[in-house]
Each structure stands twice: as C-alpha cells, then as structure tokens.
Amino acid sequence: MNAYEEYMREITQSMRDELTKAGFEELVTPEAVDQFMSTNEETALVVVNSVCGCAAGLARPAAVQSLDGEQKPAKLVTVFAGQDREATAKMREYFEGVEPSSPSMAIVKGGELKHFIPREQIEGHEVEDIVTQLTNAYSEFC
C-alpha cells in the first residue's frame, strides 16, 4: 500500500466505523460481494458509502436511524466508493439499469435489486426524508 492509500485508509476509517458499529458488514473485495449476493436470500440494505459531505451528514445517519423501527432488513452490508473500488464496481453490476451513484442505498434480496435510492434523492434532502424513503422500502420488501 502506498503512502496515499494509507493516508486515505486512515482518513476514511471513522466513515467506515459509523456503519460497522451499527451492524453493517463491509464487503471490501469483489469476491466478498459475489459471495454475499449469490448466497443471501434475505432482504438486505446495501449502503454505497463515500467521503462526500452528503454521505456524512445525510446518508450514513439516515441509514443508521432507519434501523430503529420494527421492520428492517435482515442483513446490512456496505461498499466504499473511491476506496474499495473493485468491490464497489462489482456491487454496481448487481444494480442493473442503475447509473453509478455515491452515496446511494439499495434494497436487495436473492441477488436482485428491489429498490434504489441514488445520490439525487439524498443530497439536498433532510435525514428524516431519507429515513422515510428507507422505511417505506422496508415495509414493501422486508
């Protein structure tokens, strides 16, 4: 790992921790993504994490808050755009017909995309609005 990669790993650790402390599993390799997507039959929330301000102020807090309700996904996973590039690219292959977007959130089940919240529905919105989008999706798919 070169000095830049090491620096970025250190800088992003707290951004990763915000989700892992809430129970999200990091998928950091394409193989881990394929393994998860090919074997998981339960409803899962996938957060495509990023270093941008809307991830910090909106996406991560909304994802965590959305888990407070009765209905929620059985599995929680995350990939980190710009950091774990290959894993993120592999996850995006499962989001058929969806433009790459980070941050973003997806509901997947049985290896299929069921619901997607792109950056455009995160940036400029309130955390509560994003939580509502997620909880509505949980009601439909969980």
The DSSP annotation for 96-112 comes to: TT----SSEEEEEETTE
- pLDDT tens digits in sequence order for the chain, 142 residues long: 688 888 888 888 999 999 999 999 999 999 999 999 999 999 999 999 999 888 889 999 999 999 998 999 999 999 999 899 999 999 999 999 999 999 999 999 999 999 999 999 999 999 999 999 999 999 999 9
Which residues are designated catalytic?
Answer: 52, 54
Sheet holding 25-26, edge to edge: 25-26, 75-80, 44-49, 104-109, 112-117
> How much is the pLDDT for 21?
97
> How much is the pLDDT for 53?
85
Give the predicted TM-score (pTM) of the model: 0.95
Residue 66 DSSP SS3: helix
Domains of the chain from N-terminus onward: 24-141 (3.40.30.10)
